[in-house]
Amino acid sequence: MRSHFCTDLSEANVGDNVILCGWANSYRDHGGIVFIDLRDKSGLIQLVCDPADNAHAHKLASEVRDEFVLIAHGRVRNRGEGLVNPRLKTGAIEVVVEELIIENRSEPVPFGIGDNSVGEEIRLKYRYLDLRNPSMYNTFMLRSKAAIAARNVLDRLGFLEVETPILTKSTPEGARDYLVPSRVHEGEFYALPQSPQLFKQLLMVGGFDRYFQIAKCFRDEDLRADRQPEFTQIDVEMSFCNQEDVIRVAEELITGMFAAAGHEVHTPFNRIKYNDAMEWYGSDKPDLRYDLKMIDVIDIFARCDNEIFTSIAANPKMNRIKALRVPGADLVFSKREMKSFEDYVRKFGAKGLGYFQMKEDGLKGPLEKFFAPEDLQLLVERTGMEVGDVVFFGAGDKKTVWDYMGRFRIFIAEHEKMNLIDQDRFEFVWVVDFPMFEIEDGRVKALHHPFTMPRDLNHEHLEDIESIAYDIVLNGTELGGGSIRIHKQALQEQIFTLLGIGEEEAQEKFGFLLDALKFGAPPHGGFAIGFDRFMMLLSKKESIRDVIAFPKTQKASCIMTQAPSPVELTQLRELHIRLRESVK
């Protein structure tokens, strides 16, 4: 019906006859002439309805209210000097309306299009009005383009997109499954998949060689700003490959998706060992847009004259004393502020937060008195302190120190007085060489999942065994990860044994995969990327709800949900309570 979208037009079109379709974003009567800002997905353009040009169109135009649906035939002209609106892409031109059709009317809208000052609940209740904001459209255009780019890259690399079932059995991710009773098949229940993990491994056993899918996954968990009960995952698996092959594919995929959004990304991405990430940044998803690297100083503190520190330093295998040098901090933070940082880290288990300030005459601070001058000098050298810097110390058992010093590192970077984060930068890093196992409350658990290939089982301590697993991190957010999988049945059984999973349990939970491993499984591995989170980062949105067309919120757990019917609901409520009890 239309000849152009609104912002397709520019001064190059002056004199052209055009047909535009869209919504009345606003209207005003100015000296008997009606001006309408017409909006479509591309943006706005001004329509002019002058009774001198066309009395009929003008009469109709005077009936137009916000969000009326219009079809306008007219001619493009220059607005003329002094009348240009620099805030509009089409601000230099306007369309003189020759024929106007009011295609549909609108009741007064509950909020103005693009008005983000109203609450999120009301925006979601009238999501279709919220979506009319061209900036919303742009986000979803980006999402569509990124998905198509992903598919074209993977297609080019010989991957097939294969759809795996949504109605399936429980998968081993560990969160709660949604269970779906079938009304037709009595006694049958499906589970919605938390990922296509088992299916993609079966496809490798089936000789498919290179698989991918942009797949819906499900977890029956509480909603959070960054979590929806259904989410989308770019899922990839390949055979006869090693870690390098998989990483190369992932980098090509990510590069292609960023290119579709107009961002050039350089490969290969940086890599960091899991252990180094923890030691340097206190996190397995470090944000590398800023420097701030933690430095080991346990050997220096071992010689100090404070029993708290020396007792910690006495066990350097289990404990850590870490220094975080913050350049220029002494110039911007008051002593009170520096003291207040302690309150922040205490929330994460810190007993305190020591610090030194680098003054013209050397290190100063509450801890100064415990150190010999040469050790103070050593601290300066090791941390690279310069005048105006502050170095903060965390001491304690290593996991606690990693955690709170890692958080403190981010806290400082984001602090409005430091503002260390370049929001335009995309810093990718692969975190590699993860431990295979973690021990929690004496129980051995798989850090990734039990199908992950260990690098070498010959270690005295289980915790020292590494797996061939890798995570991809962007700006401090884990985008995804993967691993090389176990393809030999004997090894898989050995891992289950180490994890304390008995033969019967293994058969019940993963029997289908275990059977498959008997019949010639090829070496294989892959990765998955959380597409919603990826889109948040790519489009620089704060909430996952900004990148999902119809998100769920705590209040309206699904935007379309109304209970099926009052009677049915009562029945279902009972069922629900029993279901809940049954899984306790």
Classify residue 572 as exposed, middle or buried by CB count within 10 Å of its CB (0-12, 13-18, 19+). Answer: middle
Residues marked as binding for ATP?
A: 219-221, 228, 478, 530-533
Contact between 225 and a second copy by CB under 8 A: the answer reads no
With CB under 8 A as the contact rule, the residue among 6, 97, 241, 345 that binds a second copy is: 241
- Within 242-301, which residues bind a second copy (CB under 8 A)? 242, 245
Say if CB 155 and CB 148 are below 8 A apart. Answer: no
Cβ(64)–Cβ(27) under 8 Å?
yes
CB of 290 to a second copy, least distance (A): 34
- Choosing from 126, 344, 411, 426, the residue that interacts with a second copy (CB under 8 A) is 126
Q: What gap in Å lies between CA 566 and CA 570, rounded to an integer?
A: 6
Residues shown for the chain = 584
Contact 19, 73 (CB under 8 A): yes
Q: Which long-range contacts (CB under 8 A, 24 or more apart) does 360-363 make?
A: 360/387, 363/391
Q: What count of other Cβ atoms lies within 10 Å of the Cβ of residue 183?
A: 6
Residue from 35, 62, 180, 434 in contact with a second copy (CB under 8 A):
180
Least distance to a second copy from the beta carbon of 54, Å? 22
Place of tokens 């998968």: 171
When asked if residue 132 is in the footprint of a second copy (CB under 8 A), the reply is yes
CB 139 within 8 A of CB 145: no
Binding track, positions 138-157, relative to a second copy; x by CB under 8 A = --xx-xxx-xx--xx--x--
Verify binding: residue 577, a second copy, rule CB under 8 A: yes
Give the number of residues in contact with a second copy, rule: CB under 8 A: 128
Q: Does 205 bind a second copy (CB under 8 A)?
A: yes
Between residue 515 and residue 544, which ones bind a second copy under the rule CB under 8 A? Answer: 516, 518-523
Q: Is 201 left (phi over 0), alpha (psi -120 to 50) or beta?
A: alpha
Give binding residues as ranges. 173, 219-221, 228, 448, 478, 485, 530-533
End-to-end CA distance of the chain: 58
Residue 66 CB partners (closer than 8 Å, separation 6+): 24, 25, 26, 27, 106, 108, 109, 112
Min CB(449)–a second copy separation in Å: 16
Q: Which of 127, 351, 364, 407 binds a second copy (CB under 8 A)?
A: 127
Which residues in 22-51 contact a second copy (CB under 8 A)?
A: 22-23, 39-41
Task: Give the nearer residue to a second copy in terms of CB position, either 178 or 411.
Answer: 178
Does the footprint of a second copy cover residue 552 (CB under 8 A)?
yes
Binding segment for a second copy (CB under 8 A), chosen from 19-27, 334-342, 346-354, 383-391, is 19-27
Which of 14, 508, 541, 543 is close enough to bind a second copy by CB under 8 A? 508
Instruction: Say which DSSP state 454 is in.
Output: B
568 binds a second copy (CB under 8 A): yes
Among 30, 183, 443, 461, binds a second copy (CB under 8 A): 183
Among 55, 118, 160, 331, binds a second copy (CB under 8 A): 160
Among candidate residues 192, 128, 140, 131, the one with its CA nearest the CA of residue 166: 192
